[in-house]
Amino acid sequence: MELTLTSPLDMHLHLRDGEMLRTVAPLSARDFAGALVMPNLVPPLTTPEDVRAYKERILDAIGEEAFTPYMTLFFLPEYDYDFLQEVKDDILAIKLYPAGITTNSEGGVENFSLDALAPTLEAMSELGIPLCVHGETNGFVMDREAEFIPIYERIAKRFPNLTIIMEHITTKEAVDALMRFENLYATITLHHLYITLDDVAGGLLRPHLFCKPIAKRPEDRMALRKVAFMAHEKVMFGSDSAPHPRSKKEAPGCAAGVFSAPIALPALAQLFEEAGVLENLQKFVSDNAQKIYGITPPAKEVKLIKEPMAVPERYGDVVPMFAGQTLAWSVDGV
Amino acid sequence: MELTLTSPLDMHLHLRDGEMLRTVAPLSARDFAGALVMPNLVPPLTTPEDVRAYKERILDAIGEEAFTPYMTLFFLPEYDYDFLQEVKDDILAIKLYPAGITTNSEGGVENFSLDALAPTLEAMSELGIPLCVHGETNGFVMDREAEFIPIYERIAKRFPNLTIIMEHITTKEAVDALMRFENLYATITLHHLYITLDDVAGGLLRPHLFCKPIAKRPEDRMALRKVAFMAHEKVMFGSDSAPHPRSKKEAPGCAAGVFSAPIALPALAQLFEEAGVLENLQKFVSDNAQKIYGITPPAKEVKLIKEPMAVPERYGDVVPMFAGQTLAWSVDGV
């Protein structure tokens, strides 16, 4: 059995910088035609110059591959219309992080009142710049995403022309909210389609599956699977692949993040085939994103074949999801 | 400020064996007058000879301290009246583990039908041997304790003269269940009074706070605190202090268990003082257990003083709860 995907896209990707960038970027570029690259470097990307320079470093790391890094800017409430007009051509979206909610998000938003955010959001809406949101409060870890939903709703209502992407949704509540507003969309990761909190902390503790938002309950995973498997037009694949060196994952104070980029397509094919919906994978990993963002990625065919993939224990110093395990599908030629 | 406790007891303790036993047993013997020692060695303690030999090793490890190790037997459904009569004088209780639910519990109970358990429970009831239970199903990690409650209720109803201890309870549901049957009692750990899942996985991942049952929600902790702080006669302190070598805690596949025995009394004093209920600590850490189990531990006064305790980074190769932090109270002379 085989499946050829046309221009697969990963609409939520952490490529990091420096040596890590050079390790992981070629792996995404190998399997995908493009990816939305997150701006949470240290310091975060907040100027057109930052974005352009980072894009150059990414292109340098990937070499000859046909792969478009779609760039993002780190949301600051002080961005005004003139600034956004200037930066518009360098980015596909702006990513909003609540302050301190995840890796390198310390400079994020503290005040979610519409008064505080409205000028920037108004300008984004007028200029047609989508808003990507890490939607979690600083409440109890299992409730953070559900607690954030009223904020999504306030923004969606006030700015009906603003395209809002609920990033890496993990709950039934988020799936429900998604359907209530026309301008809400969502990315779904590979790992949240596969795991629940049981896989992280139900047996022995599994730091390589520890991520933010944390994996939730079985009924939440079911809600995510339902919309992903039908390739609902409001959802698209975004791996949130987030590499950390082993020393940061395999020690007390383990950093949040699952590294899934290099095994994402085989693992998705396996899951979609098991669910009997392999024919919907093209929409989930490319077509929906093209429509939501209005983009045309490089023409690139990626052939998946139903032959076992032995997942490496590491890529460089990074342990991938399914390390040492065998997936039922592989990317042809990898 | 100071507080002298008379014969403090830790009614749920893992002392392990070999070198680990020699490291940790003296720390419990230093601060406590006695402890209920869990039987989940490899292999588990299932004969009077096992129990006697283990007790000898414990007494050997603690030396001269006035400290009674109250012994337990690992529950097997094949124990009959004659066997239990023979073992009765060597143990204080029998500990029931569902199969595979926690460290070294592989030989535990698989079939919780009353038909399967009744003969042994009937004999225990007649002989006045209390039943201690690790009450978790193999369901979703946050639901396991609540899902187990109907089993507690069935046993409590069928054997009204059997003293049943719900070990290390972590949920509001368990506190509620406790109140519904006269013959149900519970132990509460130090760590479940302090932490929620947020402390384990809400920020960075904290393997040294990973335990079974996993720490639950803020409202669950509040329910535990309520009954502990009032020293409700149905609850008693049981640390569930469960040492693992660092190599088993600080690596992928981290084992479950919090090592709290050597800091338990100072940390309890701090918590009870903050709650304004310091006068209830004596009941919580000794009097209630004496009544529930009908025991008279060695007379031993342990003086707590409100002077800072710098918690060591390690005891031997084991990292304690609050490692490297400072507690507001200490044990006089330690």
Asked whether the predicted pLDDT for residue B211 surpasses 90, the reply is yes
Nearest-5° angle of CA A212, CA A143, CA A155? 85
Element (H, E) at B157: helix B144-158
Q: What backbone torsions phi and psi does residue B323 show, to the nearest 5 degrees? A: -50, 130
As for how many domains chain B has, the answer is 1
| Largest Cα span, chain B | 54
Cα–Cα distance between B11 and A62 in angstroms, integer? 60
* DSSP line for A180-216: H-TTEEEEE-HHHHH--HHHHHTSSB-GGG--SSPP-
Beta carbons of A68 and A48 less than 8 angstroms apart? no
Residue found by looking up tokens 């549901």 in the block: B173
Band (pLDDT 50/70/90 cuts) for residue B179 is: very high
Q: How far is A233 from chain B (nearest CA, A)?
A: 31
pTM of this structure: 0.94
Contact A255/B at CB under 8 A: yes
Give mean pLDDT, residues B255-263: 97
Determine the Cα angle at B14 with ends B12 and B19, to 5°: 155
ipTM value > 0.90? yes
Contact in structure between B221 and B196 (CB atoms under 8 Å): yes
**In which band, very low, low, confident or very high, does the pLDDT at A5 lie, cut at 50, 70 and 90?**
very high
How does the average pLDDT of chain B come out, rounded? Answer: 97
- pLDDT given for residue B85 in this prediction: 97
Beta carbons within 8 Å of B137's beta carbon, 6+ residues apart: B98, B143, B144, B147, B148
| Chain B contact for A99 (CB, 8 A cutoff) | no
Q: Is B256 on the interface with A (CB under 8 A)?
A: yes
pLDDT band at A252 (very low <50, low <70, confident <90, very high): confident
Convert the pLDDT of each residue in A124-162 to its tens digit: 999 999 999 999 999 999 999 999 999 999 999 999 999
C-alpha A326: how far from its chain's center? Answer: 24
- C-alpha B323/C-alpha B58 separation (Å) is 25
pLDDT at B252 over 90: no
In a mutational test of the A interface, the residue from B102, B138, B196, B205 whose CB has the highest number of chain A CBs within 10 Å is B205
The neighbouring-strand residues paired with A94 are A73, A131
Residue A240 bears catalytic tag: yes
Q: How far is A220 from chain B (nearest CA, A)?
A: 12
Q: What distance in Å separates the CA atoms of residue B24 and residue B264, rounded to the nearest whole number?
A: 13
CB contact under 8 A, A140 and B198: yes
> What per-residue confidence (pLDDT) applies to A102?
84
Identify the residue whose tokens are 């690992």: B74
- Facing residue for A210 by CB, picked from B197, B205, B255: B205
- The 10s digit of each residue's pLDDT in B102-140 is 888 888 999 899 889 999 999 999 999 999 999 999 999
- The number of C-alpha atoms within 13 Å of A190 and in the hemisphere containing its C-beta is 30
The mean per-residue pLDDT over the stretch A33-57 comes to 97
Check residues A18 and B103 and name the one with the higher pLDDT. Answer: A18
Contact A225, A190 (CB under 8 A): no
Select the residue of A210, A214, A217 nearest B140 (Cβ to Cβ): A217
Domain interval for residue B127: 2-331
Count CB-CB contacts under 10 A for residue A303. 12
3-state DSSP percent of chain B in helix, strand and coil, to 5: 40, 15, 40
Residues of B whose CB is below 8 A from A198: 140-141
Q: What CATH number is associated with residue B98? A: 3.20.20.140
Q: Are A140 and A181 in contact (CB under 8 A)?
A: no
Q: Does A306 have pLDDT greater than 90? A: yes
CB pair distance less than 8 Å for A250 and B253: no
**Which tokens go with A101?**
């909610």
State which residue of chain B sits closest to A254, comparing Cα positions.
B205
E-only strand ranges, B38-108: 68-74, 93-96
Chain A from 198 to 217: CB within 8 A of any B CB:
198, 200-202, 204-208, 210, 214, 217
